[in-house]
Amino acid sequence: MGGTLSRAVLALVCFSLACSGAPPQRPAAPAGGSAATSPPATEGSGAVAPAPAAQPAVVPPLSPPVAIKMGGQGLIAELGIFNAIERGYFREEGIEVELVPFRATGEQTAPLSTGELSYASFAPDPSFFNAVARGIALKVVGYNAIINPRNDSGGWMVRQDLLDSGRYKDPSDLKAMHLTITAWGSVNQIWADRLLARAGLTVDDAEVTTLSFADMPAAFANKAIDAGFLVEPFVSVVLGQGTARIVVPTGQLFFPGTPIQVVGMSPVFAEQQPEAARRFLVAYLRGQRDYYRTFVLGEGDREEFYAVLKKYTPIQDSRLYPRMTTHDVDPNGVMDPTVPNELQTYFLKYGTQQQRVDLSQVIDSSYAEYAVSRLGRMD
C-alpha cells in the first residue's frame, strides 16, 4: 500500500493547520499554496441506501436548486458531510454541493469571507479569528468531529528505527530530536507544546521545523525527521511504509471535547441565501446523525460508510477504517465554546491572533436549532 497510496495522497488535499495571522517569532515554511488542482468532487448519485431512521418532516426542496461550493481537506472528520452528499440529503433540500479541495486550513478564510465559498470545513485557526476581529461576520455553524479519549486515528508518530533501537521510549527522549509541525502558532504547535510538557520540555529543547502533512510520509521514509504530528489519511501512508508508529494518539493529547474540525459559513451566503443556509444544516445534521447511530451507538451498517470513505479518500483498505472512525459528533448540533476559547489563548500567546473574539458572536446555533425543529431532537 505504501508507494501507490503515498502518490495518491500527495495528489490530494492536505489537512495543513497553517495560519495567516500575524507572523510569529519563528519562521514558518510555506503552507502549500493555493487550492489543490485536482478536479472538485460533486454531489454523488445517492448510491448508498439511506439508513433506517425516523424521516424528517417533508418540506419541498428549493426550486430552482441553490448551488454552493464547500471547501475542505478530504479528511475522515468530514465523513458526515460525505455521507449527506451520497445519500442525497442536500439534494432533498434543493441544494447542490460542490466540494472544493484545499491544501491548508488558513487558505479557506479569504474565499469564505468574500463568498467564493459558501461553507468551509477546517480546524480552528488564527486566520479565521483574525478575520472575525476585523469585522467579517464569519460564523461557525457545526462541529464536524469532536475528540474523545478513544480517538487513535492520528497523533504523534516516531520513526520505527528509533523505536526498535530503544532511542525513543517516552516523551523525554524527544529532547534534541528533529520534530515537525505544520505551522508555527497554529493548533499543531499547541499539540507539540502539550506533548513536550509531559516531559518538562519545551519546543526550545528540540529541533522543531515545519512541514506539510502531505510531505511527512516521505520525510519519515528518508529519515529526515524523527517525529511529527500526523492525521489521516497520512497516518495510514506512514503505517503502510512501516517507517513510523503512533506513540501518543490524538485522544490522549487533545483537550477533551475539542472540535478538531468545524463548519464555517460565509456571511455573503447567509445574507443572500438565508433559506438555503437554514436548509444546509438540515441535510448536514442528517448526515451527522447517521454517523452517530452507526459509530457511537453501534446501530448501523458500517460497511455503507466504508464505501463512502473509499470514494472520498485514498484509503481503500477497509481494515483501517475502524481505527479512523472513532471521533464523536453531537446529533443535535450542540457546540460547546469552551475549548475554542482555550485555543484562542494559545494563539494570542503565539502572536498569530491579534485579539480575542467573543465566541457568542461566532458560534451560531440558530441554524442547528432550525434543523432540530425539522428533524426532532435526538437523545
* Residue 9 domain-assigned (yes or no): no
* Residue 20 domain-assigned (yes or no): no
Q: Are 312 and 74 in contact (CB under 8 A)?
A: yes
- Per the listing, cell 418540506 goes with 59
**Which are the contacts of 82, defined by CB distance < 8 A and separation ≥ 6?**
287, 308, 309, 311, 312
DSSP output for 232-266? TTHHHHHHHHTSEEEEEEGGGTSPTT-EEEEEEE-
* Residue 62 domain-assigned (yes or no): yes
Q: Are 43 and 70 in contact (CB under 8 A)?
A: no
* Residue 330 domain-assigned (yes or no): yes
Q: What is the CATH number of the domain that holds 63?
A: 3.40.190.10
pLDDT of residue 93: 98
Residue 228, C-alpha cell as written in the block: 511529527
Q: How many folded domains does the chain comprise?
A: 1
- Number of other CB atoms surrounding residue 197 within 10 Å: 11
* Residue 221 domain-assigned (yes or no): no
* Strand pairing class (119-122; 207-210): unpaired
* Residue 141 domain-assigned (yes or no): yes
* Residue 329 domain-assigned (yes or no): yes
pLDDT of residue 212: 87
Report the alpha-carbon distance of residue 67 to residue 62 in Å, rounded.
Answer: 11
Report the alpha-carbon distance of residue 109 to residue 293 in Å, rounded.
Answer: 32
Per the structure, the complete domain to which residue 330 belongs is given by 38-150+260-375
- How long is the chain? 379
pLDDT of residue 131: 96
pLDDT of residue 34: 35
Helices 234-241 and 2-10, interaxial angle, to 10°? Answer: 150
pLDDT of residue 214: 84
* Residue 172 domain-assigned (yes or no): no
Per-residue pLDDT of the chain (379 residues; tens, 9 = 90+): 444 333 333 333 333 333 333 334 443 333 333 333 333 444 444 445 445 555 556 789 999 999 999 999 888 889 999 999 999 999 999 999 999 998 777 889 999 999 999 999 998 889 999 999 999 999 999 999 998 777 767 889 999 999 999 999 999 999 999 999 988 998 889 989 989 999 999 999 999 999 988 899 999 999 999 999 998 778 888 998 999 999 998 878 777 788 989 999 999 999 999 999 999 999 999 999 999 999 999 998 898 899 998 898 777 777 788 877 888 999 999 999 998 999 999 999 999 999 999 999 999 999 999 999 999 999 8
**Which are the contacts of 50, defined by CB distance < 8 A and separation ≥ 6?**
87
Report the alpha-carbon distance of residue 330 to residue 356 in Å, rounded.
Answer: 26
Going by C-alpha positions, the residue among 373, 377, 378 that lies closest to residue 57 is 373
- Please report which helix (H) or strand (E) contains residue 180, including its range: strand 178-181
Write the CA distances from 349 to 280, 346, 358, integer angstroms.
Answer: 35, 5, 17
User: The whole model's pTM is what?
Assistant: 0.79
Helices 274-291 and 366-375, interaxial angle, to 10°? Answer: 70
Beta-bridge partners for 145 = 261
Q: Are 259 and 266 in contact (CB under 8 A)?
A: no
Going by C-alpha positions, the residue among 358, 359, 365 that lies closest to residue 334 is 365
Report the alpha-carbon distance of residue 377 to residue 207 in Å, rounded.
Answer: 49
